[in-house]
Amino acid sequence: MHILLIEDDLDLGRALQAALRIDGHSSEWLRRVADAPPRLDDTAQDAVLLDQTLPDGNGHELLTRWRRQGSTVPVIVITARSALSERLAGFDGGADDYVVKPFEIPELLARLRSVLRRCAQQASDLWQLGDLSIEPRRRCVRLNDQELTLSPREYQLLLELARERGGVVAKRALAQRMEPLGEALDFGALEVHLANLRRKIGPERIGTMRGVGYWLNCT
């Protein structure tokens, strides 16, 4: 999954990017409000780690603007302010969770996994989708309790479809999620990976809405 990190501290930013990579996430690191996207694209990132105090502005104001625009991307606010009033204002402004500095990076990663799990409507780190199960932390997929061998692309596709719980994912959005830091994956390559994934999990488990996108049959 792709994480947008907005944090001005160089040492903390480097440490968080390294930890995210080890935890299986790609990330983009920005350091100023001016560098942040004016709008959050739900297809461009899966979550945001947002420092409250930035050199050229306030993270809360950025978050409030995103929420007013209708963005539902989960946001975890990183702050040095521990006052209850500050945290309550942040939650009311659209924060999904708070982490107070100084913090342990494993705790932040656990909170991030929790937020992502809630967005995928899963109750635990074991995502159950009918007789298909996914353990994102271990990058493990099982079908009828038999572990499957998926390529990184096939796993990424499955995870993106699973996050939508049966909802249709637009083809263009899915192609962009495969390459969050660059140009969207070529549609031809996307179709090849989808065909390989269908062969491994069963063709009936991935539906196609012609001209629109794909969905995962979770029953």
Mean pLDDT along residues 7-30: 92
Over residues 41-50, the pLDDT tens digits come to: 777 788 999 9
Mean pLDDT along residues 167-172: 88
CA 70, distance to chain mean position in Å, is 17
Q: How much of the chain exceeds pLDDT 70, in percent? A: 99
Locate tokens 């199960």: which residue?
Answer: 133
Q: Which uninterrupted H or E stretch holds 10?
A: helix 10-22
Q: Residue 32 has what pLDDT?
A: 93
Q: Residue 157 has what pLDDT?
A: 92
Say whether pLDDT at 77 is over 90: yes
Mean pLDDT along residues 166-174: 87
* Whole-number Å distance between alpha carbons of 169 and 188: 17
Here the tokens at position 80 are 């040095």
* Nearest Cα residue to 33 out of 18, 16, 52: 52
Here the tokens at position 118 are 């809630």
pTM above 0.75, yes or no: no
Paired with 170 in beta bridges are: 213
| Average model confidence (pLDDT) across the chain | 88
